[in-house]
Amino acid sequence: MNILDMSDSDPNEISIASQLYKEALSINDKFALSMSLGPITIHMISYSEKCDSLIILLDQAEAILRNSNEDGIPEYYKMTQKARILQLTSRDERADVCNRILEELNAQKYSENQYQKASRLFLTGVIHYLFISLTESSNYSEALPYWEEAWKLANGFPPAACKNFTANIYVMMSFIYREMGNSQKFIKVSEEYLRRMDRYFLRQEVLNRRPYIYKDNAYLICYQQLMLSHRLIGKAKAHEYYEKYCNFVKNGKGDPLLRNELYFFSISKQYYESLGDKNQALAFCDSIIHLIESGKALNMNYAVHYQSKARLLREMKRPEEACLVYDRAMYVTDSLVRKEQLEKIGKMRVDSEISELKLEKAILRSDIHRIALYCTIVLVIISISFSIYFYINLKRTRKLQQELLLHTLKAQESEQMKSAFIKSICQEVRTPLDNINTFTEQLADHSLSSEKKTEYSEIITDSCKELTSSLDHMLEAAYKESSS
């Protein structure tokens, strides 16, 4: 909030206001939210394509601020948006646009709240004023009743809405009263305007939360009208308001700000020039020029003030000095133009260097991304290679395991066959050997008859043949096994 109050007319004002709106919305700070709406609205009404977005935002804010101390502020900015449309409409299209907006206002007449009613009254008065201006007439009294009713209605609004509505209505009413020559109503409405401004700016919440608020313009609108209306209200009364304005500027918190001095010198010059006091007007004009030449007055149309001083000198019959002022104006203007050009060149150079640095950064980032891509590709290839290698090794290992298992099974089978073979040998060889052994021992007996010896010899012979046959079969089987 403080940054926004100190950034009036700053290029970053809209971004600061947008940030304030978001922060205020997030914590439901209605005071801060209403404060952010002004810069946002002023920015968005300058772009016709953003009007719908502005209405959506103001509708959102209206729902949040309803029945609070900031109630009515969104409706005020909706009114401002419509007034802006009316102001910028070309003379050829003015009647159509006025009729369209007037129809919209009358359509909501029977369902409107007090803020919408004040908005309707103000805009209806503006539309009548514009219709009258199309006829080249200077009788604007038809518009006045709408503004007077809106003025009374706004007095009952919360301070914030009252201040905002009052400022717009006062500009129109004071102008009409001056045109009509009604000094009594002009002074009355001006005094009431100043009281309403005090009622807002002396609120404790404003004093505590907005220590940097710039209120001088709000008062200047009124003081300027009063000071320059001496033909209507009299010189004494006009000077009384001028002194009030001087005290206001001198005692105000905004006094250290440079723009206060510029406004004060400029308004004072206008005031004394309207009175015909050219010496005083010239003195204040010199004060403005001093600010210009000292480099303190920024964002101004410098030539206007030099031309104003030269004109005053001519009217005071001092043509030589007027010529010198014109020469000085040309020199200062050229110097300022040259300074602005150098600043622009310097800014362009800085922007160029920043662009080059951004380009280098982008190239470096691109190189880093390319290297990262290459590294990623290499890592992927290595990962795939290792995966293939491990897959092949795994496959080979599984094959070896299967072969080993097969050989193990064969070995076990061979071992079983060997055991079976040995058992078979034992069974087939044992019987013949037993016969041979037994009957050989019998033959050694001398008492044995020859028939028995012959019989035993045949048994031994048959057993030897049987044994030989068995051995032949075993050798043949072993040969076949080793061959396979």
pLDDT 10s digits, 392-417? 888 888 888 888 888 888 878 877 87
Residue 469 CA to residue 462 CA, distance in Å, equals 10
The pLDDT value given to residue 176: 92
> Token pair 């094959």 is at which residue?
399
Of all helices (H) and strands (E), which one includes residue 358? helix 319-443
How far separated are the first and last CA of the chain, in Å rounded? 102
Segments of the chain scoring below 70 in pLDDT? 8-9, 137-138, 252-260, 297-302, 333, 335-342, 421, 478, 481-484
Rg (CA), the chain: 56
In the three-class reduction of DSSP (H, G, I as helix; E, B as strand; rest coil), residue 262 is classed as: helix
Instruction: With CA atoms as reference, report the closest residue to 42 among 17, 63, 67, 5.
Output: 17
Kindly report, residue by residue over 274-298, the tens digit of the pLDDT: 899 999 999 999 988 888 777 776 6
- Domains along the chain? 2-257 (1.25.40), 352-483 (1.10.287.130)
The pLDDT value given to residue 254: 47
The pLDDT value given to residue 148: 95
The pLDDT value given to residue 256: 44
In the three-class reduction of DSSP (H, G, I as helix; E, B as strand; rest coil), residue 211 is classed as: coil
Residue 478 CA to residue 483 CA, distance in Å, equals 9
Q: What are phi and psi of 215, to 5 degrees?
A: -105, -5
The pLDDT value given to residue 298: 61
**Orientation of helix 278-293 relative to helix 302-315, angle to 10°:** 150
Cα→Cα distances 244→186, 227, 339, 387, Å: 17, 10, 39, 91
Contact by Cβ (8 Å): 142, 132: yes
What is the CA 457 to chain-centroid distance, rounded? 125
Structure-block tokens of residue 177: 């009263």
Residue 166 CA to residue 196 CA, distance in Å, equals 8
